[in-house]
Amino acid sequence: MCCMNPFKLFFCELDRRGRAEFAERCGTTPGLLSKLVYGGGKVELGLADVMVALGGGRFSLDALPLTERARFQNEARSIGHGRCA
């Protein structure tokens, strides 16, 4: 298996076609998703939200490498909803 991170585990369990389909449904490319899994890539909050929604509960935002801006936005959203960041 790939690793313990829930998103990485989800992604590694998909075959090539499944990865391409998931990427298309998310509005991105399999290449970007591979960067997120294997390092070197970070994702903005909008795309991350779509990925989590389409991931069927298999992973959360915590499993994704968010950009600095996306982390800030997520923290602000959590505070705005009365949750701890």
The predicted structure's pLDDT at residue 34: 95
Query: What would the pLDDT profile of 23-81 be if each residue is shown by its tens digit?
Result: 999 999 999 999 999 988 999 999 999 999 999 999 999 999 999 999 999 999 988 76
Q: Say what the pTM is.
A: 0.86
Q: Which of 25, 68, 31 is nearest to 47 (CA)?
A: 25
Q: For residue 12, what are its two tokens?
A: 């590694």
How far apart are alpha carbons 35 and 43 in whole angstroms? 10
pLDDT(2) > 70? no
How far apart are alpha carbons 16 and 84 in whole angstroms? 37
The predicted structure's pLDDT at residue 67: 97
